[in-house]
A and B are shown apart, each in its own frame.
Chain A
Amino acid sequence: MFRKSREFWLLLLLMLLAGSSFAIQRFPRPEFETGYQQPETMLPGPRAEIMAVVDLAVLILALSAVSWMVLKKRSRKGVFWVSMFSLVYFGFYREGCICAVGSVQNVTLALFDPTYPIPLTVLAFFIIPLIFTLFFGRTFCAGVCPFGAMQDLVAFRPKTINSKVDAALGMMPYLYLGLAVLFAATGTDFIICRYDPFVGIFRINAGFSMLLFAAILLLTGIFIARPYCRYLCPYGVLLNWISRFSYRHMTITPAECINCRLCENSCPYGAIKIPNSVKYAETRRQRVRKLMFITLLFPFLMVGGGWAGSRLQETFAGVNRTVKLAKELLVSDQNGQDVESFEIKAFRSSGKPLTEVYQEARIILHRFLIGGWILGAFLGLTTGLMVAGKLLENHQSDYVPDKGACLSCARCTDYCPVMGNTMPTELNHKA
């Protein structure tokens, strides 16, 4: 036995000297004499493709059901039960993947990388909630998004947040969306999926950091209703924009508002606009000055933001794997390290020329420069819009939902004492 194995080692040594490449048939398949049956290699398949269509059907049905509950039935209970169903289906059954929030990145990657095949279902998960929002407001947030449903469950003691703090925190989704688009467009990373707070809970396998993030969100969620949706969700930015132009947004009252103030504190998200009739409190001079300030603010913020964004080029690009590899190779070639990282080992064994990696890294770095400018300018623009929105506040005489921020959860409808079923169209437009 011992001799046999020594011979074997000699043979192996020879083979190694001859150069070991992958999967060479060094030892032929033996001819068995005992009638041995070779077992089959088991290859279990993935989920059936048709199930993607089921997901899509459930999405459309859930969106329709919530929209009907919010706009026709005006029932918070109905919205709640649809959202619980969505939590179970999209959350715990589908384990958080496929989701509309993350699909932003797939769509971005597909736009910038023509080799990335975006499945139609992912595209549909991105587009369909947006279309529903254009017609009925953010009903997706109210009852289809499992993240929202999760946070709605713990919103026991929602506190009103100072409007300035709210506006400042409200800038975070823009930053998150901008970064997610930048990293997806350069093919670097899907940061929305990477820092997803709840997917680990849906799968009951969260790591420590994810568990911590989710715990923080859910604990804050007791006092600040839906913190992720309001101060982080990047898809919420798109829904917010589109919802401002929604055709038939939900209304607090089914008929004419009687200014009874019963709904005033009913919104846990601070999305109810309180009537103010101080329309002519400012002089003409003050208004002109304000407008001048706003007009000057925009170019300043956008150019400043763009410049700052472009400065961060190297920091952002450092996340990219090709740039990282190029950096490591540069250091390793200069210093001649003894222990090479797996990345360098893998690169050396792939036989790719060094110049190609440097070239690729240079292209990606340049993309980050342009991306940094655009990201900075975008953030400058949104900051400017936020400031302008604060300075030029709208004046209205009724209690109406802020169409951008309203998540159509229908809580306020329970507080409205006005009876009636449907709202006249002209009133709806006035809102």
Chain B
Amino acid sequence: MPTRRVFLQNLIRGGILAGLGLLTGSLVFRSRKGGTCRLNISCNACSKNGSCTLVPAFETRQFVWQLDPSKCIQCGRCATECVHTPSAVKCVHVYAMCGYCDLCGGYFKPDTKTLNTGAENQLCPTSAIKRSFIEDPFFEYTIDENLCIGCGKCVKGCGAFGNGSLQLQIRHHICDNCNECAIARKCPAGAFSRVPATSPYLLKGFGKQPLSGDKTGGPESF
């Protein structure tokens, strides 16, 4: 019965195609928690960009991993769990928030007696923070990201004693954007989440955050 066989096979083929179509359709067109945007334009083109909680109807956006510094407890796992060595998580200095302290909680070990750049005084295990004098009594702290391992020791110090201008962030030019972030798996605070690639940083106390090379606006002061 070749014809019946062929007919049955075609039936199954049609069924598989319909099933795949149904799956695609239900994932693309379904409504999500928090409401679905019906505008169907890219979020960049929308005036509400950034302040809106709706989920786009067509999810064409790409997502990248980022950690929320307000949830971060600086456990130090970012330095060890990332598929990259050194980690793609780096300490980012938000200059707009910095107090330019002489006694920087992020730079010096808590029991430091003399405030100089001696290695024994530094909190950073790789001396990635550079301290330079500006004017009495202010000092500028810059991070050498090639040395930073993302351990978060300075972040803890700055958050406890200072303004919290040092924050851990995933650096997207290093991050491979793994399907499931290896650090997210181990993060005790659940601080990692997927964020839209159009606003890939979650820095705190820092207004509009244009990407480097983006000329549409500068960082607002704190």
Beta-carbon nearest neighbor of A188 in chain B:
B185
Q: B188 to A341, Cβ gap below 8 A?
A: yes
> B93-106 interface mask toward A, CB cutoff 8 Å, 1 = contact, 0 = none?
11111111111010
* CB-based nearest A residue for B6: A429
Residues of B within 8 A of A345 (CB): 73, 75, 188
**Cα separation A116 to B34 with both chains bound (whole Å):** 12
Residues on A with beta carbons closer than 8 Å to the beta carbon of B201: 43
A45 touches B213 (CB 8 A): yes
Q: Shortest distance in angstroms between B136's beta carbon and chain A's nearest beta carbon?
A: 10
Could you say which of A102-110, A260-268, A288-296, A299-307 contacts chain B?
A102-110
In the complex, A43 Cα to B83 Cα: how many Å?
21
CA distance A123 to B21 in the complex (A): 11
Shortest C-beta distance, A35 to chain B (Å), equals 10
The segment out of A25-33, A167-175, A221-229, A411-419 that lies at the interface is A25-33
Query: Bound state CA distance, A34 and B139, in angstroms?
Result: 13
Say whether A134 faces chain B, with CB atoms less than 8 Å apart.
yes
Secondary structure call for the B interface = loop
Interface band, chain A = 35 or more
Most buried by A among B6, B95, B180, B206: B180
Residues of A within 8 A of B32 (CB): 114-115, 117
Contact with B along A91-118 (1 / 0, CB 8 A): 0000101110010011100110011011
Q: Are A23 and B73 in contact (CB under 8 A)?
A: no
A120 touches B58 (CB 8 A): yes
B27 with A43: CB separation less than 8 A = no
Contact of B138 with A32 in the complex, beta carbons under 8 Å: yes
Q: Does A121 contact B (CB under 8 A)?
A: yes
What chain A residues lie within 8 Å of B177 (beta carbons)?
46-47, 97
B59 CB contact (under 8 Å) in A27, A120, A199 = A120
Residues of A with C-beta under 8 A to B93: 41
How far is it, in angstroms, between the C-alpha of A5 and the C-alpha of B171 when the chains are bound?
34
Establish whether residues A45 and B211, one from each chain, have CB atoms under 8 Å apart when the complex forms.
yes
| Assembly CA distance A46 to B149 (angstroms) | 20
- Complex Cα distance, B143 from A39, in Å, reads 12
Q: Is the CB of B84 within 8 A of A205?
A: yes
B218 within 8 A of A: yes
Residues of A1-39 whose CB lies within 8 A of B: 1-2, 4-5, 8, 12, 15-16, 20, 22-30, 32-34, 36, 38-39
Cα A115 to Cα B63 with chains together (Å): 13
A45 with B172, Cβ < 8 A, contacts A20-B160, A117-B63, A205-B84 known: yes
Measured CB to CB, the closest approach of chain B to A147, in angstroms, equals: 14
Identify A44's interface contact among B23, B27, B171, B190, CB under 8 A: B171
Q: With an 8 A cutoff between CB atoms, is B134 at the interface?
A: yes
**Is residue B50 within 8 Å, beta carbon to beta carbon, of the partner chain?**
no
CB-CB contacts below 8 Å: B159-200 with A: 159-165, 171-173, 175-180, 185, 188-190, 194, 197-198, 200
Q: Would you call B24 an interface residue if the criterion is a C-beta within 8 Å of the partner chain's C-beta atoms?
A: yes
- Find out whether the CB atom of A350 lies under 8 angstroms from the CB atom of B71: yes
Contact with B along A58-91 (1 / 0, CB 8 A): 0000000000000000000000000000000000
Chain A residues with CB under 8 Å of B171's CB are 44
Q: Does chain B have a CB within 8 A of A119?
A: yes
Do A29 and B211 touch across chains, with their CB atoms under 8 A apart? no
| Residues of chain B within 8 A of A42, CB atoms compared | 212
Is B115 on the interface with A (CB-CB < 8 A)?
A: yes
Given that A8-B103, A97-B178, A203-B176 are contacting pairs, would A23 and B95 also be in contact in the complex, using a CB cutoff of 8 Å?
no
Per-residue B-contact encoding for A187-226, CB less than 8 Å = 1, 0 else: 0011001100001100101010000000000000000000
Interface residues of B in 113-164 (CB under 8 A from A): 113-115, 134-135, 137-138, 140, 142, 159-164
B17 proximal to A (CB < 8 A):
yes
CB of A245 within 8 Å of the partner chain: yes
Is A333 close to B, CB under 8 A?
A: no
Q: Check if B46 is an interface residue, CB within 8 A of chain A.
A: no
- Would you call B38 an interface residue if the criterion is a C-beta within 8 Å of the partner chain's C-beta atoms? no
Q: From known contacts A23-B97, A119-B59, A120-B59, infer whether A342 and B188 are also in contact, taking CB-CB under 8 Å.
A: yes
CB distance from B68 to the nearest CB of A (A): 11
Q: How far is the CB of A415 from the nearest CB of chain B, in Å?
A: 28
Q: Contacts A22-B159, A107-B23 known; A193 to B138 CB distance under 8 Å?
A: no
Mark A401-431 against chain B: 1 for CB-CB distance below 8 A, else 0: 0000000000000000000000000100110
Counting CB contacts under 8 A, is B60 at the interface?
yes
Contact indicator A131/B20 (Cβ below 8 Å): yes
A374 within 8 A of partner (CB): no
B62-A46 in contact (CB<8A): yes
Known: A45-B200, A131-B17. Is A114-B33 also a contact (CB below 8 A)? Answer: yes
For B30, the chain A residues whose CB sits under 8 A away are 114
| Interfacial chain A residues near B59, Cβ < 8 Å | 117-120
Whether the Cβ atoms of A107 and B27 lie closer than 8 Å is: yes
Nearest CB in chain B to that of A51: its residue: B62
Q: Which residues of B22-81 are within 8 A (CB) of A?
A: 23-24, 26-28, 30, 32-34, 55, 58-64, 69-71, 73, 75, 77
* The 3 residue pairs across chains A and B that have the minimum distance between CB atoms: A27-B99, A23-B164, A346-B189
Residues on A facing B (Cβ under 8 Å)? 1-2, 4-5, 8, 12, 15-16, 20, 22-30, 32-34, 36, 38-47, 49, 52, 95, 97-99, 102, 105-107, 110-111, 114-115, 117-121, 123, 127, 130-131, 134, 189-190, 193-194, 199-200, 203, 205, 207, 242, 245, 247, 321, 341-343, 345-346, 349-350, 426, 429-430
Q: List 16 A-B contacts (CB under 8 A).
A: A16-B161, A22-B70, A27-B99, A41-B206, A97-B179, A106-B179, A117-B55, A120-B58, A190-B179, A193-B179, A194-B185, A200-B83, A346-B189, A349-B189, A429-B2, A429-B6
